[in-house]
Amino acid sequence: MIFNKIKKILNSGLKWILALTVSFIILFPLYWIFISSITPAGELFKQPIDYLPDNPTISNYIYLIYNVGLIEKVVSTLIIIGTTLIIGTIICVMASYGFARYKSKGLSIAFMLILFSMLIPNVVTARPLYDFMRRVGLYDTYTGLIILYISKIIPFTILILRNFISEIPISIEEAAAIDGATFLQKIYHIILPLLKPAIAIVAITNFITCLNEFFIPLFYANNIQVLSTAITQLPLKDNMYSVPWDLVSSMGWIIILPIIIFVAIFEKQIMDGIMAGGVKA
């Protein structure tokens, strides 16, 4: 009896130690980025290291707002990513339903080609796609960037949603059809509610993918600036090899913050999606 109680206490202690260790590994870099962003440049590398700045400042953020156009970049980023997630999710749900419910050789080839496109590096298609975008008038436009962002998220999203839809018993739809439900009614009232956990997973993944996307806005836009390319506008200090780590840390924290807020808002749906995926696996 006593042995079992000691074993239970040891197991609980090991779990807490493991959880605290993993939390520290994940959270300490975030803390260090934030502290570096509010530390004056002259105090960043002083010895011994200060884990709390003596003279915290928000001058880096003010510099980014007035000299790098931070507000404009945030608005552009939200417009592009928000529209990409909404339109991309609708397209992918419909396509995934088709790939999951209808079987034919053509659909199988199309599905394999979509997955294969994930393996093609952006730089391979850069030049012909750049010429095409300029020819059709989509270069340096919100429409052009949104189309490219959607094409970026389609393969992974279809792969995940198709697997989830395949696990939904078709008998539910057949019962709804007998009751008179149309195709769109089956999608809206049956498929979408059951897909909520999967949609939450792909939404957060695609949000991070779009936020980190560097090649597309850098190569296919000039006047439209987003957060991921803002780092190219930070000034070098003293000489061309000196990096302004204070401004880089501030920009990094601004990019990380929306991800933290997004995950905090949709935490329940994300956990439900992970649990559902784990059960299916």
Per-domain boundaries in the chain:
69-233
CA 24 centroid distance within chain: 23
Q: If 0-12 CB within 10 Å is exposed, 13-18 middle and 19+ buried, where does residue 161 land?
A: buried
CB 206 within 8 Å of CB 153 = yes
Q: If 0-12 CB within 10 Å is exposed, 13-18 middle and 19+ buried, where does residue 65 land?
A: middle
Across the chain, mean pLDDT equals 84
Residue type, position 92, single letter:
C
Q: Is the pLDDT of residue 269 over 90?
A: no
Per-residue pLDDT band at 56 (split at 50, 70, 90): confident
Q: Between these two residues, 45 and 157, which has the higher pLDDT value?
A: 157
DSSP for residue 223:
S
In this prediction, residues 73-98 reach a mean pLDDT of 91
- Write down the pLDDT at residue 176: 83
In this prediction, residues 147-159 reach a mean pLDDT of 92
Both structure tokens of 67: 């000299």
Q: Is the pLDDT of residue 279 over 50?
A: no
CB 31 within 8 Å of CB 48 = no
Q: How many residues does the chain have?
A: 281
Distance CA 99, CA 10 (A): 49
Distance CA 184, CA 192 (A): 11
| CATH (residue range 69-233) | 1.10.3720.10
The tens digit of pLDDT for each residue in 8-51 reads: 888 888 889 998 999 899 888 888 888 888 888 777 777 777 77
Q: Is the pLDDT of residue 280 over 60?
A: no
Least confident of 8-17, 90-99, 266-275: 266-275
Q: Is the pLDDT of residue 238 over 70?
A: no
For residue 202, which of 63, 90, 61 has the smallest C-alpha distance?
90
